[in-house]
Amino acid sequence: MSVLVTGAAGFIGMQACAALLERGEEVVGVDNLNDFYDVGLKEARLAELGEHTGFTFHRADIVDAEAIDAVFGAHAGIRRVLHLAAQAGVRYSLINPQAYIRTNLAGHGVILEACRRLERLEHLVYASSSSVYGGNRKAPFSVEDRADDPVSLYGATKKAGELMSHCYSHLYGLPATGLRFFTVYGPWGRPDMAAYIFTRAIFAGEPIPVFNRGDMRRDFTYIDDIVAGLMAVIDRPPAATDEEPPHRIYNLGNNRSEPLSRFIEVLEAAIGRKATIDLQPMQSGDVKATYADIEASRRDFGYDPKTRIDQGLPRFVAWYRTYHGV
């Protein structure tokens, strides 16, 4: 039996594939290697995965239904699907909204249709986001909270993906779990995320942009904790009840909301240099704070994030030094 992973060349996708391979799974990876950020980084991630036996890669766009059907058709043993491919980034959704509508709505629909037609599908696990909570002022953010007032198109498309998945689960009995990720960071991370942006700027002696004049808090979640959660979730598909179809939503975060100023201080210590701060106003579509309530994930999956930024950021910096040769 195989696990199909979309977004296999992405930050979380690459490390999820590696974890599946290390426990002996056959993994079918799918990614279109788009140029939202450095394609070379994506290719380097794939090169790491290529060192494992049991990994097969297909370059395909999830919006291309014919290509995705061909991938599913070429691997008769697919029983679980980990759908991580998406157009990510809150701020980029202000610049290129069609990319989000295309990938996060139409592409998500293609994956749902492929899963619906898959014989003996055991579980679809898909990536949602803490962005669905919008400007929620209640903390920590719980999956029981209303999440129908997004403040970014990215958040809106992720919420729509949850609704689409619930509908397929209701209509076709498709077992599916959506995971709301909270600000994931770590080695092999995305260049458009704060850890990477700040680290690159500090090494270059350039100012780092700090929005809302630094009055920001984030639930920074280390990649190893996210992957551990993914491995626990994929093995436990939800069951239908008299009241609910086999579809559930969970938060995967660190259950700790850190001030952005402390995040920068830990980075400075790991790099050994002080940052030049460029205070800027709040960006459209952004939120002041995020904070994950993970009690449901603890209860149902034993999810137990262990890595604080004091440990995680130095590991990221060590990887950055090696990868970039600085």
pLDDT at 273 over 90: yes
2-184+221-252 and 194-217+255-291+306-324 agree in CATH topology: no
Sign of the dihedral defined by the CA atoms of residues 124, 286, 103, 184, in that order = negative
Q: Average of pLDDT values for 84-98?
A: 93
The CA distance from 113 to 203, in Å, is 46
What pLDDT, on the 0 to 100 scale, is given for residue 59? 98
| Residue 119 pLDDT level (bands cut at 50, 70, 90) | confident
pLDDT at 285 over 80: no
What pLDDT, on the 0 to 100 scale, is given for residue 152? 93
Task: Quote the pTM value.
Answer: 0.96
What pLDDT, on the 0 to 100 scale, is given for residue 26? 97
pLDDT at 326 over 80: yes
Q: Average of pLDDT values for 234-258?
A: 96
| Residue 287 pLDDT level (bands cut at 50, 70, 90) | confident
Domain residue extents for the chain: 2-184+221-252, 194-217+255-291+306-324
| Residue 117 pLDDT level (bands cut at 50, 70, 90) | very high
The CA distance from 55 to 130, in Å, is 30
Q: Is 315 exposed, middle or buried (0-12, 13-18, 19+ CB in 10 A)?
A: middle
What pLDDT, on the 0 to 100 scale, is given for residue 137? 82
CATH 3.40.50.720 given to domain 2-184+221-252: yes
What pLDDT, on the 0 to 100 scale, is given for residue 288? 86
Sign of the dihedral defined by the CA atoms of residues 177, 178, 182, 183, in that order = positive
CATH 3.90.25.10 given to domain 194-217+255-291+306-324: yes
Q: What is the DSSP string of 231-293?
A: HHHHT------SS--SEEEEEES-S--EEHHHHHHHHHHHHTSPPEEEE-PPPTT--SB--B-
157 φ, ψ to 5°?
Answer: -70, -35
Residue 291 among the catalytic residues: no
pLDDT, averaged across the chain: 95
Instruction: Please tell me which residue, 274 or 284, carries the higher pLDDT value.
Output: 274
pLDDT at 136 over 90: no
| Residue 318 pLDDT level (bands cut at 50, 70, 90) | very high
pLDDT at 246 over 90: yes
Q: Which residues contact 293 (CB under 8 A, 6 or more apart)?
A: 140, 141, 142, 143, 251, 255
278 φ, ψ to 5°?
Answer: -110, 95
pLDDT at 187 over 90: yes
Q: Average of pLDDT values for 43-62?
A: 96
Q: Is residue 89 within 8 Å of 36, Cβ to Cβ?
A: yes
Q: Which of 92, 100, 133, 154 is catalytic?
A: 154
Q: Which amino acid is at 273?
A: R
**Neighbouring C-alpha atoms within 13 Å toward the C-beta of 220:** 25
What pLDDT, on the 0 to 100 scale, is given for residue 286? 78
Nearest 5°: the CA angle 72, 75, 76 is: 95
Q: Average of pLDDT values for 254-281?
A: 95
Range picked from 84-98, 125-139, 178-192 for highest mean pLDDT: 178-192
pLDDT tens-place string over residues 147-172: 988 899 999 999 999 999 999 999 99
DSSP collapsed to 3 states, 167-209? HHHHHHCCCEEEEEECCEECCCCCCCCHHHHHHHHHHHCCEEE
Reading the block at residue 87, the tokens are: 């157009």
Peptide bond into 140 cis (omega under 30): yes
